[in-house]
Structure 1
């Protein structure tokens, strides 16, 4: 069944509809943009070899051309046609693919990926997603460039209607797969000299990576080698105030855990990421909760402290970037 929610809003099709895969593949082969559900967030997908289609991703998102994209594959065989694997990166792929880990590897000269995907760099960020998106890639037979489905720098898309509202008529169709189980983007890692550097924390924790070797963190403000490394990113229109001890008049509250900070009763609205303090639940709810508070009319959003361990690192990374000062063009 086909549904169009409004004019200038793309077709929204459920992932379990019989012809959803064929329709998505046909649109991608035609050079169009398709929004696909993944286990992390919704992705804005195009044929990675089609320069015009990849350029349309940048146009739809308003994304700077110097910010590279992730190429998504259906497994290690396709990945090896695109990149050269060192032994440790191969071990990481074997352990975490399909799943929320992106590896930055040296791109092969003959890789069927347009230069826009790599932003002119000799490396390529590559991931094997779980579920529907992997089926699409396998059917297409080529990698997909697929950043998060949202306007550049804004809150990532974790439901189909939010994506439709954000991207409007710039995509051919949106495949609705429900709420992503992970809820934050993939971890991006790069192996150099046997050391794993986390360029962006995400769905695979640093603690999990330490089982394979020494782990370092690139940190905020590092040179942009992969998506999600810009200082200001994942941002609502409303300003965020992190690690608060007290809610100010007119603020909404992004809460975590069973205990509240001072002044919570005066909050314009409250969204609790996890009343039990479960970081996986908090990660899965993060962007939807931010979007809900962003639209409640509050003067700002106060954010309660989030632990730094496990997925808390990825959650805090998104919140720090969301709270970072923005340029005037970012605020538009």
Structure 2
């Protein structure tokens, strides 16, 4: 695997070159509204294999295929179930990934051998322009090493993947800062397989009752659903910023929701949203964890946020990050 540096191009001027790299079987990291994706031609099994190699991603964890336009879905997969089509019409482009049956054109490596496929249309104009310019659907998980913090800035991608990626399109920080919500509605009633940037409450308002079934202890049926995931290199646990100093001389970092606590012996503190806005907290989550990870602390203590709206997805990511260290310890 290359240890050099990728070409970093401004997203405004780099789309044509990046599209050419995708058509040639290369890897392109690009911003979406959620996080930066690591893209390859979804019709090319060898290109998709490069994603797994670059990320050191296990072959059992499927990828999300990205389209330039909702109208492209039927052309790729054929007839779309009514409930799936209704969700696509309501929420695409946007941070909603839908499960459909895998078409023959998509090689099995993209879906990790599953007969289903995860697909979405991103709500980021430059991402859609890139996919349209490439002229192919683009398979793209988050542009980071498997199981580690998702990237919300181009510099996160460069630091994490280096020369394993050919081109990085720099579009600045992503807007949502947290991955898409994944829903399987092929059976009629939608089943939420991964909490994400589209809140469950918004789905319920649009389509009625849904089943929430995130998480996987075995082979995933959708991307990003392993119990241990989204982790910093520094051990993380979910705790309370008001807890007293441990008195052991350890350098601890705090990820706080609304404010820096008056007490405690914190070597570094990141506040997600002084105003208590959960959308802002989600947008800042991974960026703040990247900063704490680089701060030289020995442990990160993360406060849970209110478990409503997108806060449920924030708490989901914190729980999976903490589970990584519980399972390692």
Q: Shorter-chain TM-score category? A: over 0.9
- TM-score of the pair, normalised by structure 2: 0.92
* Structure 2 residue 222 is the aligned partner of structure 1 residue 226: yes
In the alignment, which of 96, 100, 104 is matched to residue 105 of structure 1?
100
- In structure 2, the residue matched to 1:120 is 113
* Structure 2 residue 30 is the aligned partner of structure 1 residue 33: no
Q: Distance in 2 between matches of 1:144 and 1:63?
A: 17
Contact persistence 1:68–1:227 (CA under 8 A): yes
**TM-fit CA distance, 1:247:** 5.4
- In structure 1, the residue matched to 2:132 is 138
**TM-fit CA distance, 1:259:** 6.6
**TM-fit CA distance, 1:327:** 9.0
1:120-157 residue CA offsets vs partner (Å, 9 max, x unmatched): 11110000012211111112221000000000000001
**TM-fit CA distance, 1:243:** 3.5
* Structure 2 residue 263 is the aligned partner of structure 1 residue 263: yes
Answer with 147-156 or 222-231: which moved more.
222-231
**TM-fit CA distance, 1:117:** 0.6
- In structure 1, the residue matched to 2:122 is 129
Contact persistence 2:83–2:186 (CA under 8 A): no
**SS of 1:182 mapped into structure 2:** coil
**SS of 1:287 mapped into structure 2:** helix
* Structure 2 residue 181 is the aligned partner of structure 1 residue 181: no
Q: Distance in 1 between matches of 2:256 and 2:326?
A: 27
Contact persistence 1:243–1:306 (CA under 8 A): no
1:6-25 correspondence runs (5 A): 8-17=4-13, 20-25=14-19
* Structure 2 residue 58 is the aligned partner of structure 1 residue 70: no
Contact persistence 2:193–2:215 (CA under 8 A): no
Contact persistence 2:35–2:178 (CA under 8 A): yes
**TM-fit CA distance, 1:86:** 1.4
Structure 1 residue ranges without an equivalent (≥5): 1-6
- In structure 2, the residue matched to 1:60 is 54
- In structure 2, the residue matched to 1:3 is none
**SS of 1:91 mapped into structure 2:** helix
**TM-fit CA distance, 1:85:** 1.9
Answer with 35-44 or 87-96: which moved more.
87-96
Contact persistence 1:73–1:126 (CA under 8 A): yes
1:36-47 correspondence runs (5 A): 36-47=30-41
Q: Distance in 2 between matches of 1:221 and 1:114?
A: 23
How many equivalent residue pairs? Answer: 318
**TM-fit CA distance, 1:222:** 5.5
Q: For residues 114 and 32 of structure 1, do their structure 2 counterparts lie closer, same or farther at Cα, with a shift above 3 Å needed?
A: same
**SS of 1:104 mapped into structure 2:** strand
Structure 2 residue ranges without an equivalent (≥5): none
Q: Distance in 2 between matches of 1:169 and 1:37?
A: 18
- In structure 2, the residue matched to 1:4 is none
Q: For residues 11 and 327 of structure 1, do their structure 2 counterparts lie closer, same or farther at Cα, with a shift above 3 Å needed?
A: farther
**SS of 2:12 mapped into structure 1:** coil
Q: For residues 247 and 155 of structure 1, do their structure 2 counterparts lie closer, same or farther at Cα, with a shift above 3 Å needed?
A: farther
- TM-score of the pair, normalised by structure 1: 0.91
**SS of 1:324 mapped into structure 2:** helix
Q: Distance in 2 between matches of 1:181 and 1:142?
A: 25
1:217-273 residue CA offsets vs partner (Å, 9 max, x unmatched): 11333651111001111100111121424154421100011473x733x10100001
**SS of 1:318 mapped into structure 2:** helix
